[in-house]
Amino acid sequence: MLEQIKADLNSSKTLLVAVSKTKPMAQIEDLYEQGQRDFGENRIQELQEKEAALPKTIRWHFIGHLQTNKVKYIAPFVHLIHAVDSLKLLKEINKQAARNERIIPCLLQFKIAEEESKYGLDATSVKALLESASFQELEHIQIAGVMGMATFTDNMDQVRTEFKRLKGYFDLLQTTYFAAHPEFKEISMGMSGDYKIAIEEGSTMVRVGSLLFGSRS
Ligand SMILES: *Cc1c(COP(=O)(O)O)cnc(C)c1O
């Protein structure tokens, strides 16, 4: 399955983040031996345990909702935080990154699904965030792009529309705020059920779990 997904991603140079949440270390090691280096987790404690035990050359992506009081646990090693949707969280990531003398790359999460979801920015809130004086002062974070999750549905036209919406946000932010920042380049969208559509709509990173590791209980 890894080879098949990599073949699908190859022509677009999209990065595969293997979502290993709830899966045992042995399954991660198995993919690692096949060359996979980017893994995604959404629980702090599980990520800490896996990071401590597995090879240091793994790039750990935090893909879940992150609480401010938990940032300190992953700040020393996290490679990319995918789902940042508030200035409060960015400030805490900045603070913990400074303590670790590093810059932590983050993606801004957007609400793109029709369904009501608790998390994610929209056009108004992202403007307020990026234009605020305190955002300008954050020197230990780097906004590397955007992230979004489509509605959980079989309607692939709807999923495509939602991915187009995220690409629209990316383009808008790139021209308005990040024209001089080449590091703003990532669009994290696409999961097991919809990654092929995501690639067609411009994804640079897909987050694939169950297709690689089997379904989660
Ligand atoms: C679990 C999860 C995934 C992977 O989902 P699959 O359908 O198993 O591929 C991707 N992104 C996020 C944010 C997740 O929580």
Written as tens digits, the pLDDT of the chain (217 aa) is 899 999 999 888 999 999 999 999 999 999 999 999 999 999 999 999 999 999 999 999 999 999 999 999 999 999 999 999 999 999 999 999 999 999 999 999 999 998 777 789 999 999 999 999 999 999 999 999 999 999 999 999 999 999 999 999 999 999 999 999 999 999 999 999 999 999 999 999 999 999 999 999 8
CA of 209 relative to ligand 1 center, distance in Å: 6
The closest-lying atom of ligand 1 relative to the alpha carbon of residue 17 is 10
DSSP class of residue 70? G
Within 10 angstroms of residue 144's Cβ, the number of other Cβ atoms is: 23
- pLDDT on residue 124: 96
CA distance 65 to 91: 15
User: In sequence order, what E strands does 55-198 have?
Assistant: 59-62, 80-84, 104-110, 141-148, 186-188
Binding-site residues, ligand 1, Cβ < 6 A: 19, 21, 42, 63-64, 149, 191-193, 207-211
Q: Whose CA is nearest to atom 12 of ligand 1?
A: 63
CA of 77 relative to ligand 1 center, distance in Å: 21
Give the three-class secondary structure for 177.
coil
The closest-lying atom of ligand 1 relative to the alpha carbon of residue 195 is 9
The closest-lying atom of ligand 1 relative to the alpha carbon of residue 215 is 8
Q: Pseudo-torsion of CA 88, 94, 99, 103, nearest 10°?
A: 160
Single out the residue of 15, 43, 19 nearest to residue 213, CA to CA: 19
The closest-lying atom of ligand 1 relative to the alpha carbon of residue 21 is 1
CA of 155 relative to ligand 1 center, distance in Å: 18
CA distance 152 to 113: 9
Non-local CB neighbours of 111 within 8 Å, separated by 6+ positions: 117, 119, 120, 121, 122, 148
CA distance 93 to 141: 7
CA distance 40 to 15: 12
Instruction: Tell me if 125 sits within 8 A of 88, measured CB to CB.
Output: no
- The first and second tokens of residue 216, run together, are 């989660």
User: In sequence order, what E strands does 103-149 have?
Assistant: 104-110, 141-148
CA of 169 relative to ligand 1 center, distance in Å: 21
Non-local CB neighbours of 75 within 8 Å, separated by 6+ positions: 93, 96, 97, 99, 100, 102, 104
